[in-house]
Structure 1
C-alpha cells in the first residue's frame, strides 16, 4: 500500500477520491439522460425499473435494500412510476403491513427499449467492456469498504 507521503499535496482537489467519484457520477448520468428521456424515465426511476425487470415483484423494503435507498427517497419514485402506469403498489394479501411493487404490462413492455441502453452506453463512452467490468468490480469493493468504515465509525 502506498503512503500518503508519496502524494505531493494530499488535500489537492484532483487527488480526492470523493471528487473523482462525484464528477464521474454526474458525467456518466449525463450520458444516460438522453437515452432515458424518450422512455420517460429519470436515472433513479431507471434503477427501480432495472430491479423490477430482474425480480418481477418485490416489497418496498426489499427494493429499498436492493437500491440502497431509504424509504423517503424511494416512495416518491414509486409514486411517479405508478402515475406513469409502469408499476403497481399493492398490499401483500398474506401480510397487509407489506407493500409490494409489481410491473404493469406497460412496465414490462418498456424493457424492450431498455435492452438497447447498455450497448449505447458502451458505445458513447468509447470504452472496452472489460474496462467497465473492472471498474464495476473496483467500485463494488469501494462501496463495501465504505459501508464497513461507516458502520464502525462510533459517530455513525
Structure 2
C-alpha cells in the first residue's frame, strides 16, 4: 500500500463507527454467557437494570431511559412478562399510559445479576478508572451527536 492509501480517511480501521461497532459486538458477546445463566438476553437485562434502579415506571419513561422507541421496547416487555419477571398494567390515572413493574421473581433475579458487572469488568482487563474514563468519553460522544 502506498503512503497515500494508508492515510485515506476511507480505510475501515480508521472509521470511528467501525471501532464502536466492533467494541459493542465484543461487549455484548462478553455479556452473553453471563446473562444466559440468568435466562436473559442483553436487551432484557437493560430493561431490568432500569426497573431495578427506578422501580415501577411507564413504558414511555423506560423507552426514553434506554434510548429506544416504543416499538422496540414493547416486544421486550412482552417476553419479560411471559417469563414472569415483569407485569404491565394501564395506569389508573391515565388510561393511555402503561406502567411496568417487577414481579417478585424479577426482584429476586436482581441478587443473581449482582455479579454481572464485576464479571464483565474482569473480562475487559480494565480497572475501574479506565472503565469510568471510557464510559464518560462515550457518553460525551453520544451527547455531542
Whether these two folds match at TM > 0.5 is yes
TM-score norm. by structure 2 comes to: 0.95
| Runs of 4+ that moved beyond 3 A | none
Q: Give the structure 1 partner of residue 133 of structure 2.
A: 134
3-state SS of 1:124 partner: helix
CA distance in 1, matches of 2:94, 2:18: 44
Give the structure-1-normalised TM-score: 0.88
Q: CA deviation at 1:38?
A: 1.1
CA offsets 1:85-121 (integer angstroms, 9 cap, x no match): 0000001111111100000000000000111011101
Gaps of 5+ in 2: 1-5
Unmatched tracts of structure 1, length 5 or more: 1-6, 147-156
Partner residue, 1:16: 15
Q: Aligned pairs, how many?
A: 140
Please, what is the CA RMSD of the aligned residues? Answer: 0.9
Deviation of 1:64 (Å): 0.7
Separation in structure 2 between the aligned mates of residue 15 and residue 124 of structure 1, nearest angstrom: 25
**Partner residue in 1 for 2:52:** 53
Separation (CA, whole Å) in 1 of partners of 2:30 and 2:115: 14
- Give deviations 1:1-44, integer Å, cap 9, x for gaps: xxxxxx82111110000000000000010000000001110000
Highest relative contact order (Cα 8 Å, sep 6+), 1 or 2? 2
